[in-house]
Structure 1
Amino acid sequence: MSDETQPSLPDHSARWEDACLAAALFAVDPAGSGGISVRALPGPVRDLWMELLRELLPAQLPFRRIPLHIADGRLLGGLDLAATLHAGRPVAERGLLAEADGGVVQLAMAERVGRSTAAYLSTALDNGEIQVERDGITARTSARVGVVALDEGANDEEQVPHTLLDRFAFLLDLGDIRYTEAIASDIDPSEIQSARHRLSEIAIDDEAIEALCGTALALGVDSLRSSLAAFRVARASAALAGRERVESADVSAAARLVLAPRATRIPMPEQPDEEQQAEEPPPPPEDNQDEQQDQDQTPQQEMDKPLEEQVLESAQAAIPPNLLAMLQMGAMRQRSNSSGKSGAIQSGSLRGRPAGTRRGEPGAGARLNVIDTLRVAAPWQRLRRQERAEKGGASEVLVEVRRDDFRITRYRQRSETTTIFVVDASGSAALHRLAEAKGAVELLLADCYVRRDRVAMIAFRGPGAEILLPPTRSLVRAKRGLASLPGGGGTPLASGIDAALSLADGVTRRGGTAVVILLTDGRANVNRDGIGGRAQAAEDALASARAFRVAELKALVVDMSPRPRPDAENLAREMGAVYLPLPHADARALSGAVQAVS
């Protein structure tokens, strides 16, 4: 069958084949590839891929699971509290990473992993060992592991920490692959074992290394770790194929699996110079040239291409089609200090999720952590027994705990988010803006019970601004308050910004997180005093925007004018806000934009 008559694989089927190939290459060299991130919600597709990976991994290879809220002592090792209290001397225990040395660890809910756990895993991936110096224990143990990070993020805001992704070779996304498209893989597990034995003998030449580095540069992949990971994956691909040296197919596979998911730009083809085009006109077509000769020459032309161009074309085919849109939304989210819409992270000792311990005394709501208190006191028991014996004290005390040993539990919680809509209700377009803002408010409030968010609305027109809807999470109250909205009159833009700043300041003072959404065309004609005049009104608006920027609040300026002009964009720049032109937005599009930036 000719190439023209062969049916092309659907995009999802090709992605599933790449996911199976990534599992095989990871099984060949888990520690060398660092790790593999699998972004998918729990379901049959992810289960099928995990079953394939377990089949490909050698049976004797250690495989351990890391819970989400694992303690540092269990992860790294340290003091065995029960054995220490029984023996009266420090007794060390092996950590989970040391138990998995030479094998694989599976990280559940990797998008929510703590910073300390991510840092410890990154150190183990970098050094191949862990060093423990805690609780009176000093030890250095080997921990050469590969990590399988299960990313169950419900949206683009929930991501695996970059410190881990930068050290992983493979970034898979199985989210939109259907179970019917996940066909069975034909990879033989016995081939994995053979590839593991011949991996150290695989050679790679300078041309292949230059092709990988050039592809990484063309795709905007700046991290050197990614190029090194692609180098290791190319060698694993050659070992899996039974070759003695890396060939172009292995380099193309490494670029497609490692570099393409990290692309930050789409490479542009080089344009020939005008002088070169004038000197080298295209040759005229020959009269006796048939289609079969064209088909025969095409593969030869592909083979004559430099290796770097072949690798780059292979990587470009794997780049998501919506790369530019995803990068734009990612830049919008980078301004946030928190991940998600549920507000900034706050640490304390009263409520929330446990987030470690600190030295302190119980009381005033602070809770004593008994286990960590005993863990701190245990290494000192022998010295304290000797001190009691020298002083003639009682010897029947099993464990002596002193005030310096007290550890209280720290908690971490997210503050609630209040989204403040500031709507330009002036002029002829007021009804349109208010209607879309009202619809967006109702859409955001419809699922506020999940995030415990609140919504407020400010409208400015005529001489000043007015709070139409105080911060609330009640959909009934919002509909009642937004039933009749005033419109028309001048544009006191400065008053609207000042009112938003005042309301947002009150939210942050109460421990919340404020997000300001300003809907306007950026053209002011009423100053702070309620007097008309475009020149003074524009100066007042820019002054209010600079004051807003000093407060370091998160904001989005939505330009809803029929034809976007520089006014709203300049205003967003002065406010330190994200600028988003939506001239033909409806309530659902506006709600989606707000959720993306919040």
Structure 2
Amino acid sequence: MSSVPYPFTAVVGQTDLRLALLLNAVSPAVGGVLVRGEKGTAKSTAVRALSALLPQVDVVPGCRFSCAPGAPDPACPDGPHEPGAGAARPARMVELPVGASEDRLVGALDIERALSEGVKAFEPGLLADAHRGILYVDEVNLLHDHLIDLLLDAAAMGASYVEREGVSVRHAARFLLVGTMNPEEGELRPQLLDRFGLTVEVAASREPAQRVEVVRRRLAYEDDPAAFAIRWADEEHEVRARVVAARALLPQVLLGDTALLQIAAACAGFEVDGMRADIVMARTATALAAWAGRTSVRKEDVRQAALLALPHRRRRNPFDAPGLDEEMLDRILDGFPDEEPEPEPDPEPQGPDDGGDGDGDGGGPDGDGGGVPPQHDGPPAQEADSPEAAPDAPDTTREDAPQPSAQGSGAAEQAPVAAAEPFRTKVLSVPGLGEGAAGRRSRARTAHGRTTGSQRPRGHLTKLHLAATVHAAAPHQKARGRAGRGLVIRKDDLRQATREGREGNLVLFVVDASGSMAARQRMSAVKGAVMSLLLDAYQRRDKVGLITFRGSGAELALPPTSSVDAAAARLERLPTGGRTPLAAGLLKAHEVLRVERLRDPSRRPLLVVVTDGRATSAGVPGGRPGGTPRELSGRSARLLASEGIASVVVDCESGPVRLGLAGVLAADLGAPAVTLDGLRADSLAGLVKNVRTAVTHTASLNSVSRRAA
């Protein structure tokens, strides 16, 4: 990777992305940017290039927390600072990796030295490094929830607090927060979406001419990065100067009563929650006016601010697509008179979206520079689409593709039916104590949660168990010559607290789409139940996968992913019909779980089989040993049970005459069986809290159900 960054002004396309980043550079109080889009759309390229456009900052020499010489932080851990000249340095861009620990983000307080030596030793984290610069979080939707909470709290308060066992450190942490994410890999919770000031959706251009320009510039950059940067130096300087001028003009911009009413009406009209949207829109509209060189906010500023600040605040559940009805927005804004025009001429008559389309017409190296830099859809080499797709990225190219012929044999295929209204489900969890990624489903050993015991620290001490430490040190006080009231504590006495919380699991759905499920009302209820479980999986921070079986085989409709809305979309398009290859569905589940165990051994699976239990087709490829379809499904279920895979069977059988075959399947899996009605959290049936608790109930059904079968 070249040490010379790709120039911001060489980016082709992505007008909204570039504008949102520049507005935050003008006014960091806007609250940052969340960039949503598919892979290979220059998200990271634009963010990394932005730091070169920020003005240099003056810092106190030797201060690890980047205090300003003229106004140092009075609570700075490296202070107090004496007045004096500062040292200028470029604004930093700090990247927060997905796998970062809490100590790496907020800093590490050395509890060992604090207790044994009485020294408050603090090692700054990434929040301190990013102060007065940019903090960039790639794949922010994959970051652990507690880290996102810490990050957004610091961004909102402008300070970071580290507290450990009564020892606390505070330092300033004001930065431009930028997060990027691919929605295919999962969504952020609405509460966290609301904490980002602006959001933009990015996608690769479909215009051949623009794509050609992307490739041309990218190849020129890779051939000679230094020469390419020199080629764009004038445009970079112009935009940098414009950012400085807009920052200086910002305090003079007037936000009139009409503009405030337009902002309030837009937020109320789109029914956004809380008041943060109003504040962000006001700051964004003000920054837009300053960027355009004006001292008053106009209707077009309010409109552009709404398009950037409101779409992500309208989501009510993970199945809602973000967006904004622009016609409705125009109707709301048209109900207010325009502000009086300014008497002075506008130094930037083209407004904040000038600069052309990036085809070399006003932003290229031979153009006039414009007001906004030229545009670029192309990613750097490391972001280009790879022939090897990510394992948890759903295939969005098959939305309307026909089912394989193996799926369509037997009864005629029926068109997909809509899902019934989702409902709140009972809690399904994996038995035992796991160590997987933080979530809200099953019990697990976690860094956060209730304290359950203590142990000697393995490496750096992070969570002190005070009582256990005192208990370990107490017997040795006489031998250590204790003379005062305090304990004499040594490193060997320290004990780490062990904590228990909740983890997220891999919830793999195996859905029967055969002809026996094809009654429209029945399949609608089944889809509604699965949709309800998907919503529950989203709230509990699980990964999900979807297998369907019908005809003469099973299909992995969605590989395990964090994108619950992708699973919901596949479920909505699910057709039905054909025979019932139950064994094929179970064996496909076994194979998927085997591969996922190799990829992520700490994430425990929960298998949810949605079926009426009928098996009318073998559907087993490769000429495996024979048997009736029911015998094959029984052997497949017992194979899963023998490997300790926690399962739940959702019994979809209906009607006055019931065969109880789902109960047989549940017994073979060593799993509970729950009906569609019993899945509801408000039903009269007992709450299913742990799949193992139902094994005793299903065991009694085993012999009776087998005779009935």
Match of 2:192 in 1: 164
The number of residue pairs the alignment matches comes to 437
Match of 1:417 in 2: 507
Distance in 1 between the 2:294 and 2:97 partners? 39
1:383-410: CA deviations, max 9, x gaps?
98987544489xxx9933337x234587
Alpha carbons 1:63, 1:106 under 8 Å: kept:
yes
1:503-545: CA deviations, max 9, x gaps?
99x98x9663658595x9x7x3635699xxxxxxxxxxxx954
User: Which amino acid in the other structure matches residue 453 of structure 2?
Assistant: G
Distance in 2 between the 1:120 and 1:196 partners? 28
User: Which amino acid in the other structure matches residue 95 of structure 1?
Assistant: G
Q: For 1:569-580, list aligned pairs within 5 A.
A: none
Q: Pick the aligned partner of 1:130 from 156, 160, 169.
A: 160
User: Which amino acid in the other structure matches residue 512 of structure 1?
Assistant: A
Partner-residue secondary structure (3-state), 2:169: strand
Instruction: Check if 1:406 corresponds to 2:537.
Output: no
Match of 2:453 in 1: 360
Match of 2:539 in 1: none
- Identity over aligned residues, as a percent? 23
Distance in 1 between the 2:477 and 2:43 partners? 58
Q: 1:84 to 1:190 in 2, by over 3 A?
A: same
Distance in 1 between the 2:135 and 2:421 partners? 33
1:318-347: CA deviations, max 9, x gaps?
xxxxxxx9xxx9998996899xxxx97999
Instruction: Check if 1:209 corresponds to 2:260.
Output: yes
Shift of residue 114, structure 1, vs aligned partner: 1.4
Distance in 2 between the 1:424 and 1:330 partners? 16
1:131-166: CA deviations, max 9, x gaps?
3321442233222223111214534xx123433321
Instruction: Check if 1:95 corresponds to 2:106.
Output: no
Distance in 2 between the 1:376 and 1:454 partners? 33
1:147-187: CA deviations, max 9, x gaps?
111214534xx123433321112212224446728699997
Partner-residue secondary structure (3-state), 1:360: strand
Match of 1:246 in 2: 297
Instruction: Compute the TM-score of the two structures, normalised by the length of structure 1.
Output: 0.57
Q: Pick the aligned partner of 2:284 from 233, 237, 242.
A: 233
Q: For 1:146-225, list aligned pairs within 5 A.
A: 146-155=176-185, 158-177=186-205, 180=211, 188-225=239-276
1:464-483: CA deviations, max 9, x gaps?
x535699xxxx956996999
Instruction: Check if 1:58 corresponds to 2:55.
Output: yes
User: Which amino acid in the other structure matches residue 55 of structure 1?
Assistant: A
Distance in 2 between the 1:349 and 1:222 partners? 36
Shift of residue 80, structure 1, vs aligned partner: 3.6
Shift of residue 124, structure 1, vs aligned partner: 1.6
Distance in 2 between the 1:103 and 1:244 partners? 26
User: Which amino acid in the other structure matches residue 399 of structure 1?
Assistant: R
Alpha carbons 1:208, 1:248 under 8 Å: kept:
yes
Shift of residue 194, structure 1, vs aligned partner: 1.3
Distance in 2 between the 1:171 and 1:44 partners? 15
Match of 1:46 in 2: 43
Match of 2:97 in 1: 67
Partner-residue secondary structure (3-state), 1:372: coil
Distance in 1 between the 2:419 and 2:33 partners? 22
Match of 2:461 in 1: 372
Mark the runs of 5 or more structure 1 residues left unpaired by the alignment: 1-12, 271-300, 311-324, 487-498, 531-542, 555-598
Alpha carbons 1:101, 1:142 under 8 Å: kept:
yes
Alpha carbons 2:31, 2:177 under 8 Å: kept:
yes
Distance in 2 between the 1:332 and 1:451 partners? 31
Instruction: Compute the TM-score of the two structures, normalised by the length of structure 2.
Output: 0.49
Shift of residue 45, structure 1, vs aligned partner: 1.9
1:202-235: CA deviations, max 9, x gaps?
1101111111221222233234212211111001
1:250-294: CA deviations, max 9, x gaps?
112101211245445876989xxxxxxxxxxxxxxxxxxxxxxxx
Higher helix share: 1
Match of 1:21 in 2: 19
Match of 1:512 in 2: 646
Match of 1:546 in 2: 677
Q: 1:105 to 1:355 in 2, by over 3 A?
A: farther
User: Which amino acid in the other structure matches residue 77 of structure 1?
Assistant: G
User: Which amino acid in the other structure matches residue 402 of structure 1?
Assistant: D
Mark the runs of 5 or more structure 2 residues left unpaired by the alignment: 1-10, 58-90, 218-231, 316-322, 340-398, 400-417, 439-444, 524-547, 559-587, 598-604, 662-673, 690-709
Root mean square deviation, CA, Å: 5.5
Match of 1:106 in 2: 136
Bigger RCO (CA 8 Å, 6+ sep): 2
Distance in 1 between the 2:309 and 2:462 partners? 45
Distance in 1 between the 2:432 and 2:278 partners? 38
Alpha carbons 2:37, 2:182 under 8 Å: kept:
yes
Shift of residue 237, structure 1, vs aligned partner: 0.5
Alpha carbons 1:41, 1:152 under 8 Å: kept:
yes
Q: 1:526 to 1:119 in 2, by over 3 A?
A: same
